[in-house]
Amino acid sequence: MNSIDAFLLRVLGPLLALTTVVTAATPPAREIPPALGPYVHPKARDFAGARTFKSTDRVVGAYYFYWYDVDTKEHIVNDDGSDALTDHPAAMDDFAYTSIRWHKQQLTDMMAAGIDVLLPVFWGAPSERDPRAGLHWSFAGLPPLVQARAELVREGKRPPRIGLFYDTSTLQWNSWHEHIDLTTDFGKRWFYATVRDFFSLIPPRDWAMIEGHPLVLLYAAAFAKNYDQGFIDYTKEQFAQDFAGRVPYLVRQNSWHILADNTCAWGGALGLQNPGVADLGPGYDHSAVPGRTPLVVPREGGKFYERNWLKFLRQPSHLVMLETWNEFHEGTDICDSREYGRRYIELTRQYVDRFKRGWKPPAANGGAP
Protein backbone atom coordinates (compact mmCIF):
# COMPACT_ATOMS: atom_id res chain seq x y z
CA MET A 1 0.00 0.00 0.00
CA ASN A 2 1.49 3.39 -0.97
CA SER A 3 1.25 6.55 1.14
CA ILE A 4 -1.82 7.96 -0.56
CA ASP A 5 -3.66 4.62 -0.25
CA ALA A 6 -2.89 4.64 3.46
CA PHE A 7 -4.04 8.24 3.78
CA LEU A 8 -7.35 7.54 2.03
CA LEU A 9 -7.92 4.42 4.10
CA ARG A 10 -7.23 6.25 7.36
CA VAL A 11 -9.57 9.15 6.54
CA LEU A 12 -12.37 7.34 4.69
CA GLY A 13 -12.14 3.69 5.71
CA PRO A 14 -14.56 3.68 8.67
CA LEU A 15 -17.14 5.72 6.77
CA LEU A 16 -16.89 3.54 3.68
CA ALA A 17 -17.57 0.54 5.89
CA LEU A 18 -20.69 2.24 7.22
CA THR A 19 -21.83 3.01 3.67
CA THR A 20 -21.40 -0.65 2.77
CA VAL A 21 -23.73 -1.70 5.58
CA VAL A 22 -26.40 0.83 4.61
CA THR A 23 -26.38 0.07 0.88
CA ALA A 24 -26.43 -3.67 1.51
CA ALA A 25 -29.62 -3.30 3.54
CA THR A 26 -31.60 -1.29 0.98
CA PRO A 27 -31.58 -0.87 -2.80
CA PRO A 28 -28.87 1.68 -3.64
CA ALA A 29 -31.09 3.53 -6.11
CA ARG A 30 -33.27 4.90 -3.27
CA GLU A 31 -30.93 5.19 -0.30
CA ILE A 32 -29.06 8.41 0.45
CA PRO A 33 -25.96 7.30 2.37
CA PRO A 34 -24.66 9.10 5.48
CA ALA A 35 -21.95 11.75 5.26
CA LEU A 36 -18.75 10.35 3.78
CA GLY A 37 -16.00 12.45 5.32
CA PRO A 38 -14.80 13.11 8.88
CA TYR A 39 -15.52 16.87 9.05
CA VAL A 40 -19.29 16.78 9.51
CA HIS A 41 -20.51 18.23 12.86
CA PRO A 42 -17.34 20.27 13.40
CA LYS A 43 -16.47 21.84 16.75
CA ALA A 44 -15.34 25.41 17.32
CA ARG A 45 -11.71 24.22 17.45
CA ASP A 46 -12.06 22.85 13.91
CA PHE A 47 -12.37 26.43 12.66
CA ALA A 48 -9.06 27.45 14.27
CA GLY A 49 -7.05 29.12 11.53
CA ALA A 50 -10.13 29.62 9.34
CA ARG A 51 -10.45 32.94 7.59
CA THR A 52 -13.27 34.57 5.70
CA PHE A 53 -13.47 37.07 2.90
CA LYS A 54 -15.60 40.15 3.39
CA SER A 55 -18.33 40.79 0.84
CA THR A 56 -16.39 43.93 -0.14
CA ASP A 57 -13.09 42.11 -0.73
CA ARG A 58 -11.86 41.62 -4.28
CA VAL A 59 -11.61 37.86 -4.69
CA VAL A 60 -10.29 35.76 -7.59
CA GLY A 61 -11.34 32.13 -7.97
CA ALA A 62 -10.67 29.39 -10.50
CA TYR A 63 -12.51 26.22 -11.52
CA TYR A 64 -10.31 23.22 -10.76
CA PHE A 65 -10.64 19.97 -12.76
CA TYR A 66 -8.96 17.15 -10.86
CA TRP A 67 -10.37 14.07 -12.63
CA TYR A 68 -7.16 13.07 -14.46
CA ASP A 69 -5.13 9.91 -13.81
CA VAL A 70 -1.99 9.22 -15.82
CA ASP A 71 -1.83 5.61 -14.63
CA THR A 72 -5.37 4.55 -15.57
CA LYS A 73 -5.56 7.11 -18.43
CA GLU A 74 -8.82 8.33 -16.90
CA HIS A 75 -9.87 11.55 -18.67
CA ILE A 76 -6.60 11.47 -20.62
CA VAL A 77 -7.28 8.87 -23.34
CA ASN A 78 -10.61 8.35 -25.13
CA ASP A 79 -12.29 4.94 -25.35
CA ASP A 80 -10.93 4.51 -28.88
CA GLY A 81 -7.36 5.16 -27.70
CA SER A 82 -7.16 8.70 -29.09
CA ASP A 83 -5.87 11.68 -27.13
CA ALA A 84 -8.70 13.09 -24.97
CA LEU A 85 -6.92 16.39 -24.33
CA THR A 86 -6.86 19.46 -26.56
CA ASP A 87 -4.20 21.06 -24.37
CA HIS A 88 -1.80 19.16 -22.13
CA PRO A 89 -0.08 19.62 -18.76
CA ALA A 90 3.53 20.72 -18.86
CA ALA A 91 4.53 17.31 -17.49
CA MET A 92 2.70 14.03 -17.08
CA ASP A 93 4.60 12.95 -13.94
CA ASP A 94 2.12 12.39 -11.11
CA PHE A 95 -0.69 13.85 -13.26
CA ALA A 96 -3.35 12.22 -11.10
CA TYR A 97 -6.08 13.20 -8.67
CA THR A 98 -4.56 10.84 -6.06
CA SER A 99 -1.17 12.59 -6.15
CA ILE A 100 -0.44 14.98 -3.28
CA ARG A 101 2.57 16.24 -5.21
CA TRP A 102 0.48 17.13 -8.27
CA HIS A 103 -2.12 19.00 -6.21
CA LYS A 104 0.65 20.80 -4.35
CA GLN A 105 2.20 22.01 -7.59
CA GLN A 106 -1.17 23.28 -8.81
CA LEU A 107 -1.74 25.15 -5.55
CA THR A 108 1.77 26.62 -5.73
CA ASP A 109 1.15 27.82 -9.29
CA MET A 110 -2.21 29.28 -8.26
CA MET A 111 -0.42 31.29 -5.58
CA ALA A 112 1.94 32.57 -8.27
CA ALA A 113 -1.09 33.59 -10.35
CA GLY A 114 -2.66 35.43 -7.40
CA ILE A 115 -5.69 33.14 -7.10
CA ASP A 116 -7.53 33.25 -3.76
CA VAL A 117 -10.03 30.40 -4.16
CA LEU A 118 -10.14 27.12 -6.05
CA LEU A 119 -13.42 25.41 -6.77
CA PRO A 120 -13.06 21.69 -7.49
CA VAL A 121 -15.57 20.65 -10.15
CA PHE A 122 -17.45 18.07 -8.10
CA TRP A 123 -19.46 15.11 -9.45
CA GLY A 124 -19.86 13.47 -6.05
CA ALA A 125 -23.54 12.56 -6.18
CA PRO A 126 -24.99 9.93 -3.79
CA SER A 127 -25.16 7.50 -6.71
CA GLU A 128 -21.37 7.50 -6.93
CA ARG A 129 -21.05 6.17 -3.36
CA ASP A 130 -21.34 2.50 -4.45
CA PRO A 131 -18.56 0.68 -2.52
CA ARG A 132 -18.60 -2.16 -5.06
CA ALA A 133 -17.32 0.22 -7.74
CA GLY A 134 -14.45 1.64 -5.66
CA LEU A 135 -14.06 5.21 -4.48
CA HIS A 136 -15.16 7.62 -7.23
CA TRP A 137 -12.53 10.14 -8.33
CA SER A 138 -14.71 13.01 -7.06
CA PHE A 139 -14.25 11.74 -3.50
CA ALA A 140 -10.80 10.14 -3.83
CA GLY A 141 -9.21 13.34 -5.14
CA LEU A 142 -10.18 15.58 -2.23
CA PRO A 143 -8.08 14.13 0.66
CA PRO A 144 -4.84 14.47 -1.37
CA LEU A 145 -5.80 18.07 -2.20
CA VAL A 146 -6.39 18.77 1.48
CA GLN A 147 -3.06 17.15 2.37
CA ALA A 148 -1.26 19.23 -0.27
CA ARG A 149 -2.77 22.41 1.11
CA ALA A 150 -1.83 21.44 4.67
CA GLU A 151 1.81 20.93 3.64
CA LEU A 152 1.92 24.41 2.11
CA VAL A 153 0.38 25.96 5.22
CA ARG A 154 3.02 24.24 7.38
CA GLU A 155 5.65 25.78 5.12
CA GLY A 156 4.28 29.23 5.93
CA LYS A 157 2.50 29.66 2.59
CA ARG A 158 -1.03 30.94 1.98
CA PRO A 159 -2.53 28.65 -0.67
CA PRO A 160 -6.00 29.24 -2.11
CA ARG A 161 -8.97 28.27 0.00
CA ILE A 162 -11.43 25.64 -1.20
CA GLY A 163 -15.03 26.20 -2.29
CA LEU A 164 -17.48 23.97 -4.18
CA PHE A 165 -18.50 24.03 -7.82
CA TYR A 166 -21.51 21.70 -7.94
CA ASP A 167 -21.59 20.12 -11.40
CA THR A 168 -25.35 19.71 -11.65
CA SER A 169 -25.10 17.42 -14.68
CA THR A 170 -25.19 14.61 -12.07
CA LEU A 171 -28.87 15.44 -11.57
CA GLN A 172 -29.48 13.72 -14.91
CA TRP A 173 -26.37 11.66 -15.65
CA ASN A 174 -25.45 9.32 -12.81
CA SER A 175 -24.86 5.64 -12.15
CA TRP A 176 -28.35 5.15 -10.67
CA HIS A 177 -29.93 6.45 -13.92
CA GLU A 178 -32.14 8.72 -11.85
CA HIS A 179 -33.39 12.03 -13.28
CA ILE A 180 -33.65 14.08 -10.12
CA ASP A 181 -36.78 16.07 -9.33
CA LEU A 182 -35.69 18.68 -6.80
CA THR A 183 -39.28 19.39 -5.71
CA THR A 184 -39.48 15.96 -4.05
CA ASP A 185 -38.15 14.94 -0.65
CA PHE A 186 -35.78 12.46 -2.31
CA GLY A 187 -34.52 15.14 -4.72
CA LYS A 188 -33.86 17.64 -1.95
CA ARG A 189 -31.95 15.06 0.06
CA TRP A 190 -29.97 14.02 -3.07
CA PHE A 191 -28.95 17.61 -3.80
CA TYR A 192 -28.00 18.36 -0.22
CA ALA A 193 -26.02 15.12 0.15
CA THR A 194 -23.69 16.22 -2.64
CA VAL A 195 -22.99 19.50 -0.86
CA ARG A 196 -22.68 17.77 2.51
CA ASP A 197 -20.27 15.09 1.29
CA PHE A 198 -17.98 17.66 -0.31
CA PHE A 199 -17.64 19.77 2.83
CA SER A 200 -17.40 16.67 5.02
CA LEU A 201 -14.12 15.96 3.20
CA ILE A 202 -12.68 19.49 3.58
CA PRO A 203 -11.46 20.72 6.99
CA PRO A 204 -13.38 23.88 7.99
CA ARG A 205 -10.09 25.77 8.31
CA ASP A 206 -9.63 25.33 4.56
CA TRP A 207 -13.09 26.53 3.47
CA ALA A 208 -13.44 29.52 1.18
CA MET A 209 -16.04 31.67 2.94
CA ILE A 210 -17.80 34.98 2.30
CA GLU A 211 -18.71 36.69 5.60
CA GLY A 212 -18.33 33.30 7.29
CA HIS A 213 -20.48 31.41 4.77
CA PRO A 214 -18.84 28.57 2.75
CA LEU A 215 -18.84 29.28 -0.97
CA VAL A 216 -20.97 27.10 -3.30
CA LEU A 217 -21.44 27.77 -7.04
CA LEU A 218 -24.00 25.89 -9.11
CA TYR A 219 -23.82 24.72 -12.71
CA ALA A 220 -26.84 24.77 -15.07
CA ALA A 221 -30.48 24.21 -14.10
CA ALA A 222 -31.31 22.26 -17.27
CA PHE A 223 -30.19 18.94 -15.75
CA ALA A 224 -32.85 19.00 -13.03
CA LYS A 225 -36.13 17.25 -13.89
CA ASN A 226 -37.97 19.90 -11.91
CA TYR A 227 -37.17 22.37 -9.14
CA ASP A 228 -38.45 25.17 -6.96
CA GLN A 229 -37.05 27.31 -4.15
CA GLY A 230 -37.53 24.48 -1.66
CA PHE A 231 -34.32 22.61 -2.47
CA ILE A 232 -32.22 25.71 -1.72
CA ASP A 233 -34.02 26.37 1.56
CA TYR A 234 -33.62 22.70 2.53
CA THR A 235 -29.89 22.75 1.72
CA LYS A 236 -29.26 25.81 3.86
CA GLU A 237 -31.27 24.44 6.78
CA GLN A 238 -29.62 21.02 6.71
CA PHE A 239 -26.13 22.44 6.24
CA ALA A 240 -26.57 24.57 9.36
CA GLN A 241 -27.58 21.45 11.32
CA ASP A 242 -24.59 19.44 10.10
CA PHE A 243 -21.91 22.16 10.11
CA ALA A 244 -22.09 24.11 13.36
CA GLY A 245 -24.73 26.62 12.29
CA ARG A 246 -22.93 27.73 9.12
CA VAL A 247 -25.08 28.51 6.08
CA PRO A 248 -23.62 28.35 2.55
CA TYR A 249 -23.05 31.42 0.41
CA LEU A 250 -24.92 29.95 -2.54
CA VAL A 251 -24.33 31.34 -6.03
CA ARG A 252 -26.85 30.29 -8.65
CA GLN A 253 -25.91 29.92 -12.29
CA ASN A 254 -28.14 32.36 -14.18
CA SER A 255 -30.33 29.60 -15.61
CA TRP A 256 -31.76 28.87 -12.12
CA HIS A 257 -34.93 30.85 -11.32
CA ILE A 258 -34.45 30.83 -7.57
CA LEU A 259 -33.36 33.20 -4.81
CA ALA A 260 -29.68 32.88 -3.93
CA ASP A 261 -26.86 34.95 -2.48
CA ASN A 262 -25.37 35.85 -5.86
CA THR A 263 -25.46 34.92 -9.54
CA CYS A 264 -22.78 33.48 -11.81
CA ALA A 265 -22.64 32.35 -15.45
CA TRP A 266 -20.78 29.62 -17.27
CA GLY A 267 -19.10 30.37 -20.58
CA GLY A 268 -16.57 33.05 -19.64
CA ALA A 269 -13.93 31.27 -21.72
CA LEU A 270 -15.98 32.39 -24.75
CA GLY A 271 -16.20 35.97 -23.51
CA LEU A 272 -16.74 37.88 -20.26
CA GLN A 273 -19.94 37.15 -18.32
CA ASN A 274 -20.84 39.21 -15.27
CA PRO A 275 -24.32 38.80 -13.77
CA GLY A 276 -22.90 39.41 -10.26
CA VAL A 277 -19.99 36.98 -10.05
CA ALA A 278 -17.85 37.54 -13.14
CA ASP A 279 -16.52 34.73 -15.32
CA LEU A 280 -13.76 35.05 -17.91
CA GLY A 281 -11.19 32.85 -19.63
CA PRO A 282 -8.45 32.57 -22.25
CA GLY A 283 -10.41 31.12 -25.19
CA TYR A 284 -11.94 27.77 -26.05
CA ASP A 285 -11.22 24.70 -28.19
CA HIS A 286 -12.88 21.32 -27.63
CA SER A 287 -11.41 19.70 -30.74
CA ALA A 288 -10.39 16.58 -28.79
CA VAL A 289 -13.88 15.91 -27.41
CA PRO A 290 -15.68 13.23 -29.47
CA GLY A 291 -19.15 13.93 -30.82
CA ARG A 292 -19.17 17.69 -30.44
CA THR A 293 -19.75 20.28 -33.13
CA PRO A 294 -16.45 22.15 -33.60
CA LEU A 295 -16.17 25.35 -31.59
CA VAL A 296 -12.97 27.35 -31.34
CA VAL A 297 -12.46 30.78 -29.80
CA PRO A 298 -8.80 31.62 -30.58
CA ARG A 299 -6.53 32.75 -27.77
CA GLU A 300 -4.76 35.25 -30.04
CA GLY A 301 -1.51 34.82 -28.15
CA GLY A 302 -3.15 35.97 -24.92
CA LYS A 303 -4.86 39.05 -26.39
CA PHE A 304 -8.34 37.53 -26.02
CA TYR A 305 -7.73 36.92 -22.30
CA GLU A 306 -6.36 40.42 -21.82
CA ARG A 307 -9.32 42.06 -23.57
CA ASN A 308 -11.76 40.28 -21.30
CA TRP A 309 -9.81 41.24 -18.20
CA LEU A 310 -9.81 44.89 -19.36
CA LYS A 311 -13.54 44.75 -20.03
CA PHE A 312 -14.08 43.32 -16.54
CA LEU A 313 -11.85 45.91 -14.86
CA ARG A 314 -13.89 48.76 -16.34
CA GLN A 315 -16.95 47.53 -14.40
CA PRO A 316 -15.66 45.02 -11.84
CA SER A 317 -17.65 42.97 -9.37
CA HIS A 318 -16.10 41.80 -6.12
CA LEU A 319 -15.73 38.15 -7.18
CA VAL A 320 -14.35 36.93 -10.50
CA MET A 321 -14.03 33.29 -11.55
CA LEU A 322 -11.42 32.13 -14.06
CA GLU A 323 -12.68 29.55 -16.55
CA THR A 324 -10.63 27.46 -16.06
CA TRP A 325 -7.47 26.53 -14.22
CA ASN A 326 -6.99 23.22 -16.04
CA GLU A 327 -9.86 21.98 -18.24
CA PHE A 328 -7.58 20.50 -20.89
CA HIS A 329 -10.41 18.82 -22.84
CA GLU A 330 -11.96 22.16 -23.76
CA GLY A 331 -8.69 24.08 -23.99
CA THR A 332 -9.64 26.66 -21.36
CA ASP A 333 -6.58 26.07 -19.15
CA ILE A 334 -4.49 28.89 -17.70
CA CYS A 335 -2.16 26.58 -15.74
CA ASP A 336 1.34 25.58 -16.80
CA SER A 337 0.90 23.67 -20.06
CA ARG A 338 2.86 22.09 -22.87
CA GLU A 339 1.26 24.44 -25.37
CA TYR A 340 1.55 27.78 -23.51
CA GLY A 341 4.06 27.29 -20.71
CA ARG A 342 3.49 29.73 -17.84
CA ARG A 343 2.29 32.58 -20.07
CA TYR A 344 -1.24 32.59 -18.64
CA ILE A 345 -0.08 32.28 -15.05
CA GLU A 346 1.97 35.43 -15.60
CA LEU A 347 -0.88 37.25 -17.38
CA THR A 348 -3.28 36.29 -14.63
CA ARG A 349 -0.98 37.68 -11.94
CA GLN A 350 -0.61 40.93 -13.87
CA TYR A 351 -4.36 41.50 -14.06
CA VAL A 352 -5.14 40.16 -10.59
CA ASP A 353 -2.72 42.71 -9.13
CA ARG A 354 -4.48 45.49 -11.07
CA PHE A 355 -7.87 44.23 -9.87
CA LYS A 356 -6.76 44.10 -6.24
CA ARG A 357 -5.45 47.67 -6.26
CA GLY A 358 -8.60 49.01 -7.95
CA TRP A 359 -6.96 50.02 -11.20
CA LYS A 360 -9.40 51.02 -13.90
CA PRO A 361 -8.33 50.93 -17.57
CA PRO A 362 -9.14 53.74 -19.97
CA ALA A 363 -12.30 53.57 -22.04
CA ALA A 364 -12.17 51.03 -24.87
CA ASN A 365 -11.72 53.73 -27.49
CA GLY A 366 -8.92 55.25 -25.47
CA GLY A 367 -6.54 52.39 -26.12
CA ALA A 368 -5.41 49.55 -23.86
CA PRO A 369 -2.51 50.15 -21.45
Contacts of residue 133, defined as CB under 8 A and 6 or more positions apart, other chains included, come to: 175
Express each pLDDT in 172-211 by its tens digit. 999 999 999 999 999 999 999 999 999 999 999 999 999 9
Phi then psi dihedrals of residue 90, to 5 deg: -60, -30
Pairwise CA distance, residues 23 & 92, whole Å: 37
Q: If DSSP codes are grouped into helix, strand and coil, which group holds residue 249?
A: strand
pTM: 0.91
**Can you name the CATH fold of 58-359?**
TIM Barrel (3.20.20)
What is the band of 74 on the pLDDT scale with cuts at 50, 70, 90? very high
* Number of neighbouring beta carbons within 10 Å of residue 80: 7
Express each pLDDT in 342-361 by its tens digit. 999 999 999 999 999 999 99
Pairwise CA distance, residues 284 & 298, whole Å: 7
Half-sphere exposure of 257 (CA within 13 A, CB side): 4
Q: In this model, does residue 29 exceed pLDDT 80?
A: no
